[in-house]
Amino acid sequence: MTKLVDDALRICEKVNTHLGDLEDFADRFNYFGCGLVLLVCVFVVSTRQYFFSPISCFIATEVGGTNLLSYVENYCWVQGTVPITYTGRMPTNETEWLQLEEKKILYYQWVPFVLGLQCILFCLPRLIWKMLYLHSGTNGNILSQVVLRSVEVLHTPPSERQAAINEIADIAEYYFAKRFPRKISTGLGRFEYPRGINIIVAYLVVKVLYLINAIGQLVMMQRFLGFSAITDLAYGFSVLRDIVNGHDWQVTQIFPRVGFCYVELKFLGVRTNAVTAQCALPLNMLNEKIYLFLWWWIMAAACITTFYLCLWIFRFSTRNREANYVFKYVQLSTDTFTNYEDKEVENFAHHYLSHGGIFLVRMVRLNAGEQVAAAVVKAFWERYRLTNMDPLRRSFPLSNVPTAPASNIVPRDLYPQFKSFSKATPSEKEGADVDTIHTPAYV
């Protein structure tokens, strides 16, 4: 038993390692959570439908033919059944049966395929997001690599973490150096296109796609199950209320367990005969529970996506909010912050990191945690101080630019979670270049 638990924890750890990407909880809830739930539903319904008997029919009048019952069951499954309560009036002729055609239930044959389609639809926004940040000139592949390496830092031995953080900063430095302002000409003149804003706009567009997909799937399920009124969009509430109040399908006519089927039989040389079959649909009991759960699950996805969409818009609504966000991490990551003015932090946030860099820091925090985010901001800040001290250094290869030694991020007794990135050892300090340490960049 212990071995099974250890194996399960190891698998979960591996899965979590590969979850690092330019995405937040709402994104994962949509493409991973909803996709996985729908995939399980497809497996359960398909197994019940294709490996077990999905319908069982009874014919009160005996009609000749050895395979007649099997034929009637298959016919009723393909053509659909009409739900009639036990106390309801049975049609007596073909005309009355034709009048009930509009009430015929046909959806249960298509349930596995529709669930599979829903699963694919939940993955489409993520595929679009991948294409946007990998192939649209947003340099999102660099940002994605930084986030992935930041997640890997969590599983790196403490002795190697600072080197991994420096490597992450080197990768990000390439992104910062590659960006440039875009000037757009309009009838009113030329204005500068904010750097890094395209990746944020693309991300917000994908958020909107997730929300449209969730709402659209609620509408699709409503139409698929035969609910036509606008108020039936809340059929999840209705079904749950009926179950709690003890109202079964005979009252609501939703997911009927029993249906009737009118079958015409043609015999050679005689008049056409007809039989009425009463069929049990045990699959509908399963469908009812699945669609009730899916309605609430997808509704939760829509609410979570709406919340995170508003949150991201709020985060990037003003420049001061972005500067304050960076200010917090710079203050945590260095004990020499008091020597710098607020304007210098604003310049670091708005011109060095810009929108794309702050978006990157937020993604690192969401995927790797506060500890790694503070360490990454510290590395960015040190490189900013180097380039701000001597702008000519920006033209040199990164390998020629000396890396700032590790500084006191925060005291260990106050913030034990930062102990992996704490003060450098005496041996490391002795090996550092004295002239480099005392430059204004490290004061």
For residue range 108-133, list pLDDT tens digits in order.
Answer: 888 999 999 999 999 999 999 988 87
- Residue 253, pLDDT above cutoff 50: yes
According to the model, what pLDDT value does residue 299 have?
A: 93
The alpha carbon dihedral of 122, 40, 280, 257 has a sign of negative
Contact indicator for 171, 276 with CB cutoff of 8 Å: no
Q: 184 - beta bridge partners?
A: 191
Q: What is the percentage of the chain residues whose pLDDT exceeds 90?
A: 18
Q: What is the 3-state secondary structure (H, E, C) of the chain?
A: CHHHHHHHHHHHHHHHHCCCCCCCHHHHHHHHHHHHHHHHHHHHHHHHHHCCCCCEEEECCCCCCCCHHHHHHHHHHHHCEECCCCCCCCCCCHHHHHHCHHHCECHHHHHHHHHHHHHHHHHHHHHHHHHHHHHCCCCHHHHHHHHHHHHHHCCCCHHHHHHHHHHHHHHHHHHHHHCCCEEEEECCEEEEECCCHHHHHHHHHHHHHHHHHHHHHHHHHHHHCCCCCHHHHHHHHHHHHHHHCCCCHHHHCCCCCEEEEEEEECCCCCCCEEEEEEEECHHHHHHHHHHHHHHHHHHHHHHHHHHHHHHHHHHCCCHHHHHHHHHHHHHHHCCCHHHCCHHHHHHHHHHHHHHHHHHHHHHHHHHHCHHHHHHHHHHHHHHHHHHHHCHHHHHCCHHHCCCCCCCCCCCCCCCHHHHHHCCCCHHHHHCCCHHHHCCHHHC
User: 331-358: per-residue pLDDT in tens?
Assistant: 766 655 455 566 777 778 777 887 888 8
Average pLDDT over the chain, rounded to an integer = 73
Q: What is the pTM of this model?
A: 0.74
Using alpha carbons only, what angle is made at residue 217 by residues 214 and 219, rounded to the nearest 5 degrees? 115
Question: Per residue in 277-322, pLDDT tens?
Answer: 888 888 888 888 899 899 999 999 999 999 999 999 988 887 677 7
* C-alpha span between 363 and 357 (Å, rounded): 10
Integer Cα distance of 139 and 173 in angstroms: 12
Can you tell me the distance from the alpha carbon of 304 to that of 306, in angstroms, rounded to the nearest whole number? 5
